[in-house]
Amino acid sequence: MNNFEHQLVVCIVNEGFSDAVMDAAREVGARGGTVISARGTANQEAQKLFDITVDPQKEMVMIVVPTEIRDDILHALYKEVGLNTPGQGIAFALPVDNVIGIAGVNDKETD
């Protein structure tokens, strides 16, 4: 099993809540992220199952973080923008096997 140094945290929220995502993530150590406009495709069955109304306009926030703060960030996102909040967000993390372009990470020059 690989021990990944970084994780990609992805949080999908209703449109207008990406600032709340970044505020919550920064509180526990994230430095920055990327926001992409998106459109959800949840069906009526999913809305009934989770007892929510799904706003089709979404924002997807992607944040590369050190693995050691991943759980803190996911917990903060759950509290601030989770399904039971107006942001109705979901979040998950994926392992990242290499990172370039982030200050302080792999700053070695490459040929």
Could you tell me whether strands 34-39 and 57-66 are parallel, antiparallel, or unpaired per DSSP bridges? antiparallel
Q: What is the pLDDT of residues 37-96, one digit of tens each?
A: 998 876 667 667 777 666 789 999 999 999 999 999 999 999 999 989 999 999 999 999
pLDDT band at 100 (very low <50, low <70, confident <90, very high): confident
Please give the class, per CATH, of domain 6-96: alpha beta
pTM: 0.81
Structure tokens at 88: 């109705």
The ranges assigned to domains in the chain are 6-96
